[in-house]
Amino acid sequence: MSLLVVGLSHRSAPVSVLERAALVGDEQAKLVQDTLAAEPATEAAVLATCNRIELYADVDKFHAGVAELSTLLAQHTGVGLDELTPYLYVHYEDRAVHHLFSVACGLDSMVVGEGQILGQIKDALALGQELHTAGRLLNDLFQQALRVGKRAHSETGIDRAGQSLVTFGLEQLAQGAPVAEWARGKRALVIGAGSMSSLAAATLARAGVSELVIANRTLERALRLAESLAQQHAATPAAITPADSAGAETAAETGAETLREGLVARAVPRDRVPAELPHADIVVSCTGATGLVLTAAELRTALAQRAACPPGAHPAEADVSLLDLAMPRDIDAAAHRIEGLHLVDIESLAEAAAEPSGAPGSSAGAMAADVDKVRAIVSEEVAAFGAAQRAAHITPTVVALRTMAADVVASEIARLDGRLPDLDDKQRAEITQTVRRVVDKLLHAPTVRVKQLASTPGGAGYADALRELFDLDPQAVAAVSRADGSARTAEPNDPKGGRA
């Protein structure tokens, strides 16, 4: 195993660099494909979130691997290598495993203990499987990381410390007030219908907003989200409302509306955001757009239109609350300086999370105890994963040895047939079975013991010793390895950790 990870995250780089380095569109797919094409790498996967970009690879040379992966990250993020390098971190072999398992448990997240990272790891594995860039090592690694993350959440109270970035962001907007009290009765606009936006919409619906508008480039996806929320909150369908769309004839043009007591949930195309913006008290945006979704000029225009609304149309407080969870940012950073707006973005969330009093969760003592328990789980799982990988490394050699022994037995039985042609079938079968039992007994203890020794730290050399002692054909061992790797990557996804 020569696992290498090169990456940057909110812990190593400022948000301004992370924003510029964000992989958008199909850049993730291009990055892993180019990594696999690079000479040092035989497998590749990329974990990209709003807080991190990490490139995982199985490499045969450490220094060449670090240089190549760093260069690829610079090329695909568009940040110059000289500028990017000071923010990169490198983990190798067991340290790389430890890092991913810690990430999966939420220990390395901006909001410690948050569970959304598991979905993002699942997506990274799915991409690697789809593009066939994840082989046996990375399939095993990412699937085990998912299991470890789930184990940490089920066996400890890390969930008490952890919450979603959405909830943390809303808490920052609420400025100390309970989110449910702060949000109740307000009108919310959610831009985007991906996983983060969907979570934001669900959270706001639970918090009791009076109106929820979901704007997305693909209206059908926004409609599905609105319908899902309506069902979860016991909504009943109602008539479609034109809502400032004179002449529109279809739901796709105007947005579909679903009602329940106290809640209106609507889906609209993203190009209707300027029309919806003046009526929103809370705006959450998380899209994959490469440019700004809300510019300073658009926000100023919306504020002017909002000021012209009749008295009582909006809550008493004047500020419009903006939550930008996108990377790169969706909302112009100039909004921080516009009177009447309260913007919370990834950068301000990072600053809040870094403050002892700003970290979300239960009491500091309980949180520390949970984190310690999770760290113990990670250490245990890293040791187990390393042992399993080392044991798996020697398996092709053991299989090749037993294949060679079987060939020797077959050859000697054939020679015996030539020397003793008068043996009947029963005698020949008994002699064959006896010879096989002798060979199996001779090989049993050494092969069992060598597997045990190989699973210990530094045990990789036992496979080499076995090949040397028995003069095993390297091509035969490699053939077993290739067959095993193909079978492993073709297996159905593990229901405990792989794709759903």
Based on the residue annotation, tell me whether 286 is a catalytic residue of this protein.
no
Q: Give φ, ψ of 21 to 5 degrees.
A: -90, -5
Query: Which residue in 50, 105, 286, 309 is the catalytic one?
Result: 50
Total count of residues recorded for the chain: 500
* Coil vs helix vs strand at 320: strand
Asked if residues 417 and 423 have their Cβ atoms less than 8 Å apart, the reply is yes
DSSP label at residue 493: P
Alpha helices in 162-318 (DSSP H): 165-174, 179-183, 195-207, 219-232, 251-254, 273-276, 296-307
318-323 contact pairs (CB < 8 A, 24+): 320/280, 320/281, 320/282, 320/283, 321/173, 321/281, 321/282, 321/283, 322/283, 322/285, 322/294, 323/166, 323/169, 323/170, 323/173, 323/200, 323/282, 323/283, 323/284, 323/285
Contacts of 83 (CB under 8 A, 6+ apart): 17
CA dihedral 414, 418, 424, 428 (to 10 degrees): -30
Token pair recorded at residue 144: 């085990």
Q: At residue 254, what is the residue type? A: T
Strands 320-324 and 341-344, how do they pair? parallel
Token pair recorded at residue 324: 């930008």
* Coil vs helix vs strand at 236: strand
Residues annotated as catalytic are 50
